[in-house]
Structure 1
């Protein structure tokens, strides 16, 4: 039997012999090599969004398919990558150092923009003695209607123009942004002047000229603000503002008033033209007027555009939003004039509302920064909604508090002004809430909803004024409150959508 092969009991002679397996002592099980590899590459695998990223890393380490089959028992790098991807839970490791936040901006810059928004109001104070004459049929001072017509056209046009220029800047095409401003700003100035002339006719030449200058300023200032030249605009407006302030305590001759107004307007217009004009140098003019889709030149190949330009229709909701908010602000500013209070309360309210746009802009950035932090810290949609809801309440409350302080301060400092209180103050705060939530909806990409709500509110308040349905302040209180509540509901509906916070 020494030459016979031992077989287990019951086995047939034609069965293969049993190959003894290597035995390991209890408690000494061999570790899984794939688990070891997963542990070593844990951070990279957890942050990967697809197994192909892991396969690329394995191949970059020099692992061949033969080595992978021998060490890990799978056929190739892609199979091993899929196995690693399944074994490691997805997570996004926090980067080393401070977390990048693109929404961090300085408060001083935003406050500077608010001051720049408010300074043109001193131009109306400085030029008021030049607009002499009896009141019109609506009870407004002489020349008011041409100025209002030109301002509304300018606000509408330049709001849409600014959106189009910002869209080009967002695409990285600064030349196209300059080109749109170079063409759009003069066109808006011409439309504003024509609107003022259509309202005034030939009976108020001084008012039409003032409105034409106003339209030129709006176009040039839009160009400077879009291109980030707030400080230059502030310097150009400072002499005019100083002359208006001096006029509160000393008599300023009409000649000096005219020189200050025309001087500031000329400087602003030249600065705006310089900012959007084609750069100097050989070929600069042709490059400036190069169509966004490229062109054919001898010796050059025609290149395809890297991105489509913004559609003209995309700027229409922003223009309508500018028109609607302009009408609402004018109603708030002229309510006292229409009720016989003249400018004792209207001017401080308008100045406070304009100055508050600086804090409003900064608080919008703060909200976007807070929503980004909430997105990192929240693990469920409900938790993210709660976090952003708290942030938006804090930012809106801070804005209304700043508007309250500014309104009280301007009414206290404005010569011969009455204090803002009661229904006037409540209406002003509700209007501020309406404007801030509208700007927030714009940042969400829901500008159409904000424009619709504000347009309906402007139409409702205008209809109430025409039909004499209550006092302007009472109508405004109802309209502002209802519109602000609707926009707040739209904001709440969008807070939990992560895509709205892009």
Structure 2
């Protein structure tokens, strides 16, 4: 019939024609989110030595584990990083332009810092006649207890203060760094003087005044060192150091000794104050509004306290020995202090070598091998420098006990503890170093208080255990690529 609509047999006349359904893409043809992510991050993934580098990038992009499970079907950022690492082949393109090495530094500057660290020791030589008197209740030379207490407080406080100031400098806010030093250095000096006064006991007032001056010096020197004014500090200390050398050969009136010490202290304090005097009026930097957390500096302060205790025990080893004549082993402390210059330079050499290893290594195993060899070479070089300095200071120091055998072994193991502690600190793992060194200082204190053994054998056992523990911590970080960035 003309005009009618043809329908298939059996169809109902009132049924409407079916609407065509949209075609769906088969699941096998849909793009894989992992492939898309691998393509987007191709250059970075191809240059990664270890999946941890990729995991760090993913976390910095704000990807949570829940998002990763929902989008990519793996449990966390590390699993996703390993999957991406397997999907992309390794490529190591050479960067355009000259290679940037932020860890490259000159040996002379580091040696200068080591000398600056050691020069204040001449102040004790110059001031020794001013502290003359009978030994105290602990059998130590007069004035030793307030001096040591003030020094430990200063090292602890100023280590934490230096970390906070360096943190501000790292954020690009130099004015905030100066403000923190302007506030923190006087507080630390006051705390050191008060603690020295509290433990003075029957010590002569001159010893308390000397300890107070020591606290002021530590605060001012921290300001100058953090702000990179090592040369100014060196020039302020040179007259006092030269006078101390002369005083070893020729007699010098006590008034002249006091005047030289006071003049050097005033010079350092004025230089430090000049460096930060106008920090309160300076405009705030354009860095982040929220600065570093105060608690972030606590592990650095504790590390300074622990290492300070260990170094003091090394200096007082002979005075604490049962069979001693009471001579304080100052050459050990001088050698350790001077060795901080080579230690700092070798630490920079290690970080520079590990950065070169990141560019040249094609596998995680090759990178770990490179960093381990670099660390061993740098540690061996530091121990060689410490050995040479120990022998030299022991030979030149008047009436100093010889350094050999157990005493020398303990000193070298303490050098291992100090250098690996600085290495852990540069990795950002200062909490582990503070815990190990703190436990070592506590163990050595308890052993000496209970007279468990001779101090040199105690030092050998404690330093050896601490060195082994920190070596384990270092080895755990050497192959972790993100720790070297």
Give the alignment's TM-score, normalised by structure 1. Answer: 0.77
Separation in structure 1 between the aligned mates of residue 203 and residue 377 of structure 2, nearest angstrom: 51
Write out per-residue CA displacement over residues 24-68 of structure 1, whole angstroms, 9 at most, x where no aligned residue: xxxxxxxxxxxxxxxxxxxxx974779xxxxxxxxxxxxxxxxxx
- Which stretch of the first structure deviates more once superposed, 336-345 or 484-493? 336-345
Cα shift at 1:338:
1.9
Cα shift at 1:209:
0.4
2:356 aligned partner? 373
Q: How does 1:147-296 map to 2 (within 5 A)?
A: 147-201=147-201, 203-278=203-278, 286-288=281-283
Q: Is the contact between residue 150 and residue 214 of structure 1 (CA under 8 Å) also seen in structure 2?
A: yes
Query: Does 2:332 match 1:337?
Result: no
2:115 aligned partner? 115
1:314 aligned partner? 296
Q: Is the contact between residue 46 and residue 90 of structure 1 (CA under 8 Å) also seen in structure 2?
A: no
Q: Is the contact between residue 317 and residue 451 of structure 1 (CA under 8 Å) also seen in structure 2?
A: yes
Cα shift at 1:345:
6.3
1:76 aligned partner? none
1:392 aligned partner? 375
2:133 aligned partner? 133
Q: Is the contact between residue 47 and residue 92 of structure 1 (CA under 8 Å) also seen in structure 2?
A: no
1:347 aligned partner? 330
Cα shift at 1:376:
0.9
1:138–1:201 distance in 2 versus 1, CA, 3 Å: closer
1:323 corresponds to which of 297, 305, 310: 305
Write out per-residue CA displacement over residues 241-283 of structure 1, whole angstroms, 9 at most, x where no aligned residue: 111111111111111100110000000000000011116xxxx
1:472 aligned partner? 455
Separation in structure 2 between the aligned mates of residue 337 and residue 49 of structure 1, nearest angstrom: 59
Query: Does 2:424 match 1:429?
Result: no
Identify unmatched segments of 5+ residues in structure 1: 1-44, 51-86, 280-284, 295-304
Query: Does 2:479 match 1:484?
Result: no
SS in structure 1 at match of 2:316? helix
1:356 corresponds to which of 339, 348, 351: 339
Relative contact order (C-alpha < 8 Å, sep 6+): which is higher?
2
SS in structure 2 at match of 1:94? coil
Q: Is the contact between residue 127 and residue 261 of structure 2 (CA under 8 Å) also seen in structure 1?
A: yes
Cα shift at 1:417:
2.2
Separation in structure 2 between the aligned mates of residue 463 and residue 221 of structure 1, nearest angstrom: 32
Separation in structure 1 between the aligned mates of residue 253 and residue 437 of structure 2, nearest angstrom: 41
1:401 corresponds to which of 368, 378, 384: 384
1:88–1:149 distance in 2 versus 1, CA, 3 Å: closer
SS in structure 1 at match of 2:341? helix
Separation in structure 2 between the aligned mates of residue 233 and residue 416 of structure 1, nearest angstrom: 30
Write out per-residue CA displacement over residues 181-219 of structure 1, whole angstroms, 9 at most, x where no aligned residue: 000000000000000000014752111100000000000
Cα shift at 1:132:
2.0
Separation in structure 2 between the aligned mates of residue 434 and residue 344 of structure 1, nearest angstrom: 25
Q: Is the contact between residue 155 and residue 322 of structure 1 (CA under 8 Å) also seen in structure 2?
A: yes
Write out per-residue CA displacement over residues 319-352 of structure 1, whole angstroms, 9 at most, x where no aligned residue: 0000000000011100111226467561111111
Q: Is the contact between residue 140 and residue 326 of structure 2 (CA under 8 Å) also seen in structure 1?
A: no
1:26 aligned partner? none
Cα shift at 1:412:
1.3
Q: Determine which structure has more spread, i.e. the larger CA radius of gyration.
A: 1
1:444 corresponds to which of 423, 427, 445: 427
Identify unmatched segments of 5+ residues in structure 2: 1-40, 47-86
Q: Is the contact between residue 118 and residue 351 of structure 1 (CA under 8 Å) also seen in structure 2?
A: yes
Cα shift at 1:306:
3.0
Cα shift at 1:360:
0.2
Q: Is the contact between residue 47 and residue 90 of structure 1 (CA under 8 Å) also seen in structure 2?
A: no
Separation in structure 2 between the aligned mates of residue 495 and residue 403 of structure 1, nearest angstrom: 24
Cα shift at 1:405:
0.4
1:145 aligned partner? 145
Separation in structure 2 between the aligned mates of residue 263 and residue 341 of structure 1, nearest angstrom: 36
Cα shift at 1:308:
2.6
Give the alignment's TM-score, normalised by structure 2. Answer: 0.80
